[in-house]
A and B are shown apart, each in its own frame.
Chain A
Amino acid sequence: MNDHRDNSGERDEPDVLAHARPFSGTPARYRRISIVVSIAIHGYLYLGMLFFHGYLGGAEWVFGWKPAVFALVSCVVFARQAFRWIMRLDAQYGSGAGWSLPTRSVKLPEPRQRDR
């Protein structure tokens, strides 16, 4: 019978805060990244569609004003929503009051290191 109390996979972590450092994310960086990423993605997709679908595929509609306006609006909306998304994800919005942090003593299953 397996002994589930086997501790041979125990983590070797004398001080988990020994190498702690502040996380480098800030709202200003998140805003800048959201804008840059949105412009890069929309620019790439718009130009990609112009070349592959329009130029190579012969679709004339992609050269019209509607796809350009759609790409522009989507770019602005995505940049704004991505920023808010990142801020929420990184706990910059809200207080965390919806969660409690109870202390528990647990054993965590760890895979054994195998010889290769």
Chain B
Amino acid sequence: MLDTVREVLGPWYLYIKTLHLLAVMAWVWSTSVAYAFYLVPIFKAWRRNPRDPEIVRARNWAIERFDEGATYEHIAFPVILVTGPLLYVLGGWSTSVGWLVLKLLIVFGIFLPIEIMDYYLSHGPGNKGRLRAAGNGEGYEIAIHRHWWFLLVSSPVVMVFAFAIVVLAVLRPI
């Protein structure tokens, strides 16, 4: 099975690597501007003024747009999950390569659960636009609180370990 994969896709190694890198770029950076310059300032304002209806309106609009804005990231991530292991197989890599093992541990053990949760919050039952359209006001508010919890807890993890992934892949320190 793996031999067949190597034989068929081996000549395409660099093309797959290009696709992998493009997907990594989209995954890492596609939500960064919306997050840093729109979402976080509005959510900080909401946390300081939780009963201000104008800020709550801005918060609601921003998080609904952010749900949609995460689409690029969430298309890119499955591409990474497919192309990454393909490169591992085609490149003849093994567990004796330290930087690669650590990188894969980070992707599959840390980022995969985070992204599954993110899919749920942005496009699944936690999608705020659909909750609003369904008239589920209480569920809408709960979903926003849950999303903010997710962003609070995941932000330091994502920033540090996304950076670590790039450092491991490029500098290969171990």
Contact = CB atoms under 8 A, between A and B. Distances in A.
A13 B57 contact: yes
A81 B156 contact: yes
Interface residues of A, number: 45
A90 B157 CA distance: 16
A21 B138 CA distance: 9
Given A11-B132, A21-B141, A91 B47 contact: yes
A89 B47 CA distance: 10
A85 B133 contact: no
Contacts of B56: 16-17, 20
A53 B156 contact: no
A43 to B, nearest CB: 11
Interface in A80-112: 81-82, 85-86, 89-91, 96, 99, 101, 103, 108, 111
Contact of B157 (A30, A37, A89): A37
A28 interface: no
Interface of A: 11-13, 15-25, 30, 33-34, 37, 41, 44-45, 48-49, 52-53, 56-59, 62, 78, 81-82, 85-86, 89-91, 96, 99, 101, 103, 108, 111, 113
Interface of B: 40-41, 44-45, 47-57, 60-61, 68, 94-98, 101-102, 105-106, 109-110, 129, 132-133, 135, 137-138, 140-141, 145, 148-149, 151-153, 155-157, 159-161
